[in-house]
Amino acid sequence: MSKLTLGSYPHLLGFEQLERLLERTAKSGNEGYPPFNIEQTSDHSYRITLAVAGFSEANLAITVEDRQLVIRGRQQDDSEGRIYLHRGIAARQFQRTFVLAEGVEVGEAVIENGLLHVDLTRAVPEAVVKTISIRKG
């Protein structure tokens, strides 16, 4: 069985970058931690919410790298000098990556009650109709 690519569809011109983007997303290694929601808050805006209980603002970093929203969390292991009888809450780090479409901008990020909210907006492109003249060769 051969792998289908966007290049194998003759009516899809110039989508090679989208194909590379899909491959990169598949390889991003996002695991199940931390859990997150993505909601549409209006016709042109979204909100990503991550469950980051135990993380403070200082433990979190949000960057946009090559059209990818990258959210990282690092906690310090403060177990030195403590004797745990049970340790179910581990100091854990994470990295979550979300691929952004052309025109999607990252807005505000707010942390409240153990949830990190990141707002995104999508610019609506103007509809452009262009007439191409035909000349005799």
Four-way CATH pick for 31-122: 3.20.20.140, 2.60.40.790, 2.60.120.380, 3.40.50.300:
2.60.40.790
pLDDT tens digits, residue range 87-111?
A: 887 778 999 999 898 899 999 999 9
Instruction: Report strand pairing: 60-64 vs 104-112.
Output: unpaired
Is residue 18 scored above 90 in pLDDT? no
Ordered by start, the domain boundaries in the chain are 1-29, 31-122
Give me the pLDDT at residue 89, please: 77
pLDDT tens digits, residue range 38-57?
A: 999 999 999 999 999 989 99
Which of 5 and 1 is assigned the larger pLDDT?
5
Which of 47 and 9 is assigned the larger pLDDT?
47
